[in-house]
Amino acid sequence: MITCYAAIMILMILPESDCGSQGSRDLAIIIINIIGVSFIEITWDACYLVAVECFPTKIRTIGIGTCSLLARTGALLAPQMAYLSDIYRPIPYAIVCSIGIISLLISCFFLPDTKGVDLAALDPTEELDYNRKKSVTENIVIQRRMTGILASPRGTILEDNA
């Protein structure tokens, strides 16, 4: 990841007349772009692995689908960034670098360490569902004890013979 950002930073600070001819400058830009894009492609695998580890089991597919939707939205908007270079040449590279650095900082500070930890133990939805089922069951028992009758699903009242 550091190599990717270093390549993009070189593109940002590379002056217009650094190379001897325009052809060698264009070749240098293409090579550095290929290095940057290659490392960005490698980081996508890490992004999907992080999404798998970050979301609880019950909402994992929703989380990964949302991440994929946002990635595809970014892919649709990315070609438009080339037009920003008409305003100032390093702007597209600065945007890519800043988004990458923000995602790096967010993942460093907010991603839980799950190495050697049972992921089911980290799943907060399991505990919530268990507590909700328990409270509903307790409410039915309390209702039976207090009234001696239960309401059926169709709204009719049934006698409790217990």
Is the same domain home to 55 and 132?
Answer: no
Is the same domain home to 30 and 76?
Answer: yes
pLDDT tens for 7-45 read: 667 766 666 655 556 667 677 777 877 777 777 777 676
Structural domain for 69, as ranges = 2-117
Specify the number of domains making up the chain.
Answer: 2
Is the same domain home to 139 and 159?
Answer: yes
d(CA 73, CA 15): 31
Is the same domain home to 14 and 89?
Answer: yes
Q: Using a cut of 0.75, tell me whether the model's pTM lies above it.
A: no
Higher pLDDT, 23 or 122: 23
pLDDT tens for 91-101 read: 887 887 787 77
Is the same domain home to 32 and 74?
Answer: yes
Is the same domain home to 51 and 90?
Answer: yes
Higher pLDDT, 128 or 86: 86
Is the same domain home to 61 and 34?
Answer: yes
Is the same domain home to 127 and 113?
Answer: no
Average pLDDT, the chain: 68
Is the same domain home to 33 and 105?
Answer: yes
pLDDT tens for 105-121 read: 777 777 666 677 666 66
What percent of the chain shows pLDDT beyond 70?
A: 51
Is the same domain home to 70 and 129?
Answer: no
Is the same domain home to 102 and 127?
Answer: no
Is the same domain home to 32 and 93?
Answer: yes
